[in-house]
C-alpha cells in the first residue's frame, strides 16, 4: 500500500526497458507502447496512480486522457493501491464446475476479506477475474505471473502460508 512518489520516475533498468519497447513500433506509432509500458509501471509501483499515468503520457508524447481511458478499460491495471499479493481469482463457468465457488468462499473466509478488499496487514488483495485460459486445471487463481491450479482447501492453505512468510 504505497503512495507513488512525486515526481514519478522509472528505475534506470525499467526506463531502458520502456525505451526498448517504444522502439518496437514504426516511427510516430509510439502510442502502441501504452499497454506494455503500463504493465512495466504496475510492476514498479504495484498500481497505476494518476501521477504515474501522467508520467507515462509524457514519455509517450500523448495526452493524459489517452492513458486514463486505456488504463480504466483494461481490467489488469489496478487504479487503486493494492496489497503485496493480488490474488486474481477466476470466477468463470468451467472453474466453477470444478468447485471454484466453494474454494473461493474458503479463500475469502480464510483471509477475512471480500473481492476488492485488502487484508489489514497489507499482504493480500482479492480480485475477481474472468476466464484465465486454464480451464482444464481449475479451480485457478493467479498472483502476478504465477498460475496456481487445481486448487483445493489444502493447497490454498499452503499458498497463503508460503506467501505470508
- Which is nearer to other proteins, 3 or 23 (by Cβ)? 23
The H-or-E segment that residue 62 falls in is none
Instruction: Give dist(CA 95, CA 19) in Å, integer.
Output: 39
Instruction: Report, in angstroms and rounded to the nearest whole number, the Rg of the chain calculated over CA atoms.
Output: 18
Quick check: helix, strand or coil at residue 72?
coil
> Residues 148, 86, 118, CA angle at the centre, nearest 5°?
130
Q: How far is the CB of 143 from other proteins (least distance, A)?
A: 11
- Which is nearer to other proteins, 84 or 91 (by Cβ)? 91
Instruction: Give dist(CA 114, CA 130) in Å, integer.
Output: 16
- Which is nearer to other proteins, 6 or 79 (by Cβ)? 79
Q: How far is the CB of 120 from other proteins (least distance, A)?
A: 27
Q: How far is the CB of 94 from other proteins (least distance, A)?
A: 4
- Which is nearer to other proteins, 78 or 122 (by Cβ)? 78
Q: How far is the CB of 151 from other proteins (least distance, A)?
A: 14
Instruction: Give dist(CA 90, CA 72) in Å, integer.
Output: 20
DSSP string for 98-145: TTHHHHHHHHHHHHT--TT-B-TTS-EEEEEES--S-GGG-S-EEETT
Positions that interact with other proteins (CB under 8 A): 24-26, 29, 31-36, 38-39, 60, 62, 66, 69-70, 73-77, 88, 91-94, 96-98, 129-138, 142, 144-147
Q: How far is the CB of 58 from other proteins (least distance, A)?
A: 15
- Which is nearer to other proteins, 93 or 116 (by Cβ)? 93
Amino acid at each position: 500500500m504505497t503512495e507513488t512518489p512525486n515526481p514519478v520516475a522509472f528505475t534506470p533498468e525499467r526506463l531502458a526497458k520502456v525505451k526498448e519497447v517504444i522502439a518496437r513500433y514504426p516511427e510516430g506509432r509510439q502510442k502502441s507502447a501504452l499497454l506494455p509500458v503500463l504493465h512495466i509501471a504496475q510492476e514498479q509501483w504495484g498500481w497505476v496512480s494518476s501521477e504515474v499515468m501522467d508520467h507515462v503520457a509524457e514519455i509517450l508524447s500523448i495526452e493524459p486522457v489517452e492513458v486514463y481511458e486505456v488504463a480504466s478499460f483494461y481490467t489488469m491495471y489496478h487504479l487503486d493501491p493494492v496489497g503485496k499479493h493480488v490474488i486474481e481469482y477466476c470466477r468463470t463457468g468451467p472453474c466453477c464446475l470444478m468447485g471454484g465457488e466453494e474454494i473461493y468462499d474458503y479463500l475469502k473466509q480464510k483471509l477475512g476479506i471480500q473481492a476488492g478488499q485488502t487484508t489489514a496487514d497489507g499482504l493480500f488483495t482479492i480480485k475477481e477475474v474472468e476466464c484465465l485460459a486454464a480451464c482444464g486445471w481449475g479451480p485457478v487463481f493467479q498472483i502476478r505471473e504465477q498460475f496456481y491450479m487445481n486448487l483445493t482447501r489444502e493447497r490454498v492453505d499452503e499458498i497463503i502460508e508460503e506467501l505470508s512468510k
